[in-house]
Structure 1
Amino acid sequence: MKSLQGIYAVTDEVLTPKSTIVKQVEEALEAGAKVIQLRDKSSTDDELEPIAKSLQDLCDQKKATFFINDRVQLAKKIGADGVHVGFRDQTVKETREEVGEKMLIGVSCYGDIERAKQAVNDGADYVAFGAIYPSKTKPKADVVSKEIISKAKAELDVPICVIGGINRKNINEIVDFQPDLYALVSDIFESESIKKTVTELNKLISKSE
């Protein structure tokens, strides 16, 4: 199975436009990002299919793991490593029935440990909690206590992902809680040097390993 730990770079329609997304993701992978998520809420599956294929190929080359956000049919069509669903989308059980046993499923659990337990019971391969900090990309998201990470690690036996407003300035505050995955959007893809940023992030989280 591919890795579900380390820096998890999540794309964004504005910060990673179609004209540059593949190059930007390649830079993140070259600097050591371990997981990539294609997140695009506005394009059609047909528009995203060639990009998704290119990103999956890149992740295969770099031995990284590739997820598509929400778009289960697209993930199935291109043979993505995984699909990430929100609890407001279809259920994990429905997703598992649709994608089969081999595809990885990640699920957003916000600040709800009971939702996370249900998701794991239904077949989720990792659970994500957040927003850990106020988020530029999801400004309306509720901020959750970092203590949820400790509780999740104690009660669940799947990788724990944290997301929401994480950057090089505050990631040290999370490292001690030892989540498995650190999902970032803005700090990686707004930076002047994606490679430099991901390299710095990896150094900052390495003390927890």
Structure 2
Amino acid sequence: MTDSHTDRFTEALNTSAIYAITDSKLMPGELLFEKAEAALKAGIGCLQYREKTADPAEKKQRAERLLKLCRQYKTPLIINDDLELALEIDADGVHLGQSDGSLTEARARLGVDKILGATCHASLELAQQAQDAGADYLAFGRFFPSATKPDAPPAPLELIAEAKARFQRPIVVIGGIDQSNAEVVFAQGADMIAVVNSLFADDNPAAALAAFPQR
């Protein structure tokens, strides 16, 4: 495996440690684009489009609009759980959960120039499989109570340091991370923090972003 895809995600890491994830409940209608652009303008590292309820045509239309915004701000757009959509609109990458298809197949279809992220929950074994399959980053969580995924099993903070020491991929952490606890996960070795409510529940995403501690 070459390092080209990892380098692409590293560019995002070097921009910001904030990995923003959209939420249709927090960002209905035009708020999706208004809040996304506010976050992009303020300087997030990457944006993930996460949509669980829209019909395929509407989802594609929204994704294309977000991609145009992301191109404007030179920020990667990653599609959640939908490899076909990512390929169709030529997004910058895709993030797959454990039930969203083969990482190996996704890597092959994406090629080396796109970003592939993988949900690893609290499992170093799943992370090893993801790294072996060609994932660019490994996502662990949840580490704190999460409004987005309230039923997700908790992960111990020590897992971050263990993963950081073991794997040669950036570590992304998710689950209830906000301005008050981000410093704790950074201290454990997290490369990037994935945020939803702590950024997009705010009427002013730029101010919310500014309140996060630096990595």
**TM tier, smaller:** over 0.9
1:79-158 counterparts in 2 under 5 A? 79-158=90-169
User: Partner of 1:19 in structure 2?
Assistant: 30
| Per-residue deviation, residues 20-58 of structure 1 (Å, max 9, x unmatched) | 211110001111111100001111231111221121122
Is residue 2:23 matched to residue 1:7?
Answer: no
Give the deviation of 1:152 after TM superposition.
0.9
| Aligned mates of 1:93, 1:182 — CA distance in 2 | 25
**Letter of the 2:81 counterpart:** D
Instruction: Give distance in 2, aligned partners of 1:32 and 1:112.
Output: 31
- 2:66 is equivalent to residue 52 of structure 1: no
Q: In the alignment, residue 165 of structure 1 is paired with which amino acid? A: G
Contact 1:109/1:127 (<8 A) preserved: yes
Q: Which runs of 4+ in 1 moved over 4 A?
A: none
**Contact 1:4–1:159 (CA<8 Å) still a contact in 2?**
no
Distance 2:203 2:23 in 1: 16
Q: TM-score, normalised by structure 2?
A: 0.90
In the alignment, which of 60, 73, 87 is matched to residue 62 of structure 1?
A: 73
Which residue pairs with 1:40 in the alignment?
A: 51
Alignment RMSD (CA, Å): 1.3
One-letter amino acid of the counterpart of residue 56, structure 2: D
Where in structure 1 are there 5+ consecutive unaligned residues?
Answer: none
Identity level (%): 36
Instruction: Output the CA distance in 2 between the equivalents of 1:193 and 1:101.
Output: 36
Q: Distance in 2 between matches of 1:40 and 1:199?
A: 26
The TM-score with structure 1 as length reference comes to 0.93
CA contact (8 A) 1:130 1:144 kept: yes
Q: CA deviation at 1:178?
A: 2.6
Q: 1:79, CA displacement in angstroms?
A: 0.4
Q: Pairwise mapping of residues 160-171 of structure 1 onto structure 2 (< 5 A)?
A: 160-171=171-182
Could you list the runs of 5+ residues in structure 2 that have no partner in the other structure?
1-7
Residues 182 and 196 of structure 1: is their aligned pair in 2 closer, same or farther, counting only changes over 3 Å?
Answer: same
Q: Matches of 1:60 and 1:38 in 2, distance apart? A: 14
Deviation at 1:18, TM superposition (A): 3.0
Given residue 66 of structure 1, which amino acid in structure 2 is its aligned partner? L
- 2:180 counterpart letter in structure 1: K
